[in-house]
Structure 1
Amino acid sequence: MNPLTRRSALAGLGALTATAVAGTAPAFATPSGIGPVLDLSHATPQLARQVTALFRDKTSRNVARTMSHFARRPMYYTDATLGWYLPTWGSLKAIFDQYMPTWPATARSYATRVLGDERSAIVEFTDSPELFGHEGRVIAALDFTDGLVVRQVDYSDGRHFGIAATNAARVPDAQFPRTFGEDVIPDRSSPALRDVARRLTAALASGDTAGLFTVDATFEDLTLHSTFVGALAIDAYVKRAFRRLPYGPGTTIRHTVGSARGGGYEWINPATPADHGVVALELDSARKISRLTTVWDGSRLSDDAMTVLLSDTLER
């Protein structure tokens, strides 16, 4: 299969199987017996309606209805792991036209968490192995205009999808896009979210995250399959690991999405082979981080380099 069409179909086809949301968004919405619980606790009601409608139509394999959720112009879609860049509505529609009718009935693609508002958001979703042969765990950054997607960037770990499969589909480094549409689509995130992202980026670069997290916060790195619970454990981990983290020293913010309650930022770090990724954030009323989730492409690093990073997760 042509890697462009194969992976372009993979990335961005995350389907939220929750029923449509009306009125106010509940803390959690239960998918109709198909997938796990969808967490909407940090999403506005309008965002919940936009996202559930978009991925409901993807789940139903209706190309026309699915594409009705994307803006005609501008519209940018990128798979940030493989470097596939689709800068038009028509190029994305061509992928859906080819592959959506072939999805097996047992395939599932569903969201597990949505953060932000109707202007921009983070959506975490899962592709089951039936869809493309390997499981995909994705964190997507989305921008909207008038309820339509104008920019979507999907981030995932190539090791989780499979190193061989990822390498076979990834574009050569010389052809990898240097921008993902953020140079065209203005930042729609809230000032409060941008402030937290800036302070967090600086803290991760210096190894000092004291005061940024709530007492019972969770810090999870999906690529390292590691989770820390509690501000003390998080601060200690960052202090011993920050020099080696891809999102540590040298990191700059590519783009932010979300509201004062939650969202995230896409980051760039040319000092490491895993030179880009995304951080999803949940915030409390005092703008402290109650949950951080990050993913980046571990297939860019050797087994030895990953082992060093994993050694930092050991508490002593």
Structure 2
Amino acid sequence: MSEGMVEGKVVVVTGGGRGIGRAISLMMASEGAKVVVNDIGASVAGEGTDGGPADEVVKEIKAAGGDAVASLHSVASASGGEAIVATAVDTFGRVDCVVNNAGILRDKYFHKMSAEEFEAVINVHLMGSFYVSSAAAKYFREQNSGSYIHITSNTGLIGNPGQANYGAAKLGIVGLSKGIAIDMARYNVRSNCISPSAWSRMVANIPLDTPERRRIAEMSEKFLSPEKNAPMAVFLASDAAKDITGQIFGTRGNELILFGHTRPVRSVHRSEGWTPQSIIDHGIKALQPSFVPLDVIMDVMGWEPV
């Protein structure tokens, strides 16, 4: 393979056997990285194991002249996170980038959602991102460099019905990324998020029980291939992005998006302090013009990606 943007770097991609993770793994390798393709091969709901997807991506990378190794460890435990990163270090001698992409869905409206359905999604997405990131942190500190790329979601950033567990996990990942970016800046370690849009197993699994959901599915399948999300991940793993940290990017077809961070939008003050009644009479009336409406993704990003 010719020298690429991440030549010689060692990149861990969790959930790297299918969909967006597969696309990222393949492009990282095509741009010169040695790749740990981590995937337990579970169903969308996180059930079962199958080493086939990770092995197939490794074979594809090697057939194209690249270098990769499969990891079948689960991200949903501290020991699994340690083992995933150890696979990189034991096989390739170092680790330069972690792409926290592994995820599952347990979609259900909140009033019907069980504690197990909530916890399972949190454990894979949010805790999994922590476990793998934490395992890599000691190596990043020692080598005074490293890049974290966390996969968040428009569900967490904007909102979507039937996904309170997924949204909580994905917005939690934004907070995790920002905390890592602040704490590890002194070690030249950067941490960013990508909110991807793609037609994948996870999107295809969402019930198409309304005309709007069917429209979203048709639009996604037509315009949003997983491969469209890989270039931003490769860029963020590269030295070209050495000064970029703490940001939230979106990839949507041929669009690149920069998301804002939560900031105060309006304030109101009373020198004598507040009572419940004065909040009604004055406070809420002053703040209400800046209330955020109860939007979902398609209210905010309803145009067709082309």
Settle same-fold status: TM greater than 0.5. no
Between structure 1 and structure 2, the one with the greater Rg is 2
Tell me the TM-score normalised to structure 2 length.
0.32
Q: Which protein has the bigger helix share?
A: 2
Q: TM-score, normalised by structure 1?
A: 0.31
